[in-house]
Amino acid sequence: MAGTDRQRPLITGGPAVILVEPQLGENIGMVARAMANFGLSELRLVQPRDGWPNPKARAAASKADHVIDGTAVFDTLEAAIADLNFVFATTARARDGFKPVRGPQSAAQSLRARMESGQQCGVLFGRERWGLSNEEISLADEIVTYPVNPAFASLNIAQAVLLMSYEWMQSGLAPSSETPFSGPRVQPATKSDLQGFSDQLEEALQARGYFRPPAKKPKMVDGLRAVLSRPGFSKTEIQLLRGVIRSLDRFSRKSPRGSGPPDPVEDDEQSAPVAGGSEP
């Protein structure tokens, strides 16, 4: 998906992402890209198999150069987290133990609150094949696990980082913007706009004998109005629809349809249809 705007300020900061013994440069690059997508920028590597810097990582990062350039490499996990106040370990399954387990959303909210209070935080991600060892997990404060399909639980490392990064970004959005937005931002037309449209349509239908039998007309009109009023059409939409009805009502087909019942009348010059949306 495109849409990057290089004029906008780059969002950086957030918790450190710590990859323990990552193997493929491509994965490291995709992790950097996922972090950049959601405003994280601090990447730390513990003993990357293929060394560092790694051209494959840069290529896969799709221009998340600020993350790649700032990546720090450590010999041990202990060293990589030495300056941090709080660390999450990510695991595929909750393990036995005394550590609290959270989902990514709750974990991100916790990280946000901690960092706002001045703590330095990080999130550990394990090797591609088998994740983190129990000893590594024991160095963390709490565990993050993902609500995956138990029968198909294998997330790759870039996806696991993507989800945490996404929840980090979400956690910083104002509550109002998290509120589900139900309904269009369009300003509904006034009732008189709507009534004018409804009157126009009813008159055009009445002139064609649409309301039959006549005794049923009131009920049919009610039904039509209910359909037209439910959507909360905007003034612009009403204008467009009035133009449509006007064209159908005033002008005939320019050439006969194969199966059309009445012969259409050829329009003459002065009755040329008005282009759509021209109804005042």
Determine the interface stretch with a copy of itself among 18-26, 47-55, 78-86, 141-149 (rule: CB under 8 A).
141-149
Site for a copy of itself, residues 202 to 261, rule: CB under 8 A: 204-205, 207-213, 216, 220, 223-224, 227, 230-234, 237, 240-241, 243-245, 247-255, 257, 260-261
Name the burial class of residue 121, with classes exposed (0-12), middle (13-18) and buried (19+) by CB atoms within 10 angstroms of its CB.
buried
| Crossing angle (nearest 10°) for helices 25-37 and 157-171 | 10
Determine the interface stretch with a copy of itself among 42-50, 115-123, 152-160, 188-196 (rule: CB under 8 A).
152-160
Least gap, CB of 264 to a copy of itself (angstroms) = 8
Instruction: Confirm or reject binding of residue 181 to a copy of itself (CB under 8 A).
Output: yes
Distance CA 84, CA 121 (A): 5
In what side-by-side order are the strands of the sheet with 121-125? 72-74, 43-46, 16-20, 121-125, 86-91, 142-145, 101-102
Nearest to a copy of itself of 79, 210 (CB atom):
210
Least gap, CB of 43 to a copy of itself (angstroms) = 14
Distance CA 12, CA 23 (A): 25
**Residue among 168, 51, 143, 40 at smallest CA distance from 93:** 143
Least gap, CB of 78 to a copy of itself (angstroms) = 21
245, two tokens: 């009805």
Instruction: Confirm or reject binding of residue 166 to a copy of itself (CB under 8 A).
Output: yes
Amino acid in position 188: P
**Residue among 257, 238, 248 at smallest CA distance from 198:** 238
Least gap, CB of 44 to a copy of itself (angstroms) = 18
Site for a copy of itself, residues 45 to 104, rule: CB under 8 A: 62-64, 90-93, 98-103
Least gap, CB of 76 to a copy of itself (angstroms) = 22
Residue of 116, 118, 263, 280 interacting with a copy of itself (CB under 8 A): 263
Nearest to a copy of itself of 149, 192 (CB atom):
149
The secondary structure element, H or E, covering residue 77 is helix 77-80
Nearest to a copy of itself of 75, 152 (CB atom):
152
Strand 86-91 to strand 16-20: parallel, antiparallel, or no bridges (unpaired)?
unpaired
Q: Are 146 and 103 in contact (CB under 8 A)?
A: yes
Distance CA 109, CA 102 (A): 10
Least gap, CB of 190 to a copy of itself (angstroms) = 17
Nearest to a copy of itself of 75, 270 (CB atom):
270
Question: Helices H, strands E: what count in the chain?
Answer: 11, 7
- Count of residues that bind a copy of itself according to CB under 8 A: 120
Instruction: Confirm or reject binding of residue 186 to a copy of itself (CB under 8 A).
Output: yes
Least gap, CB of 251 to a copy of itself (angstroms) = 4
Nearest to a copy of itself of 3, 75 (CB atom):
3
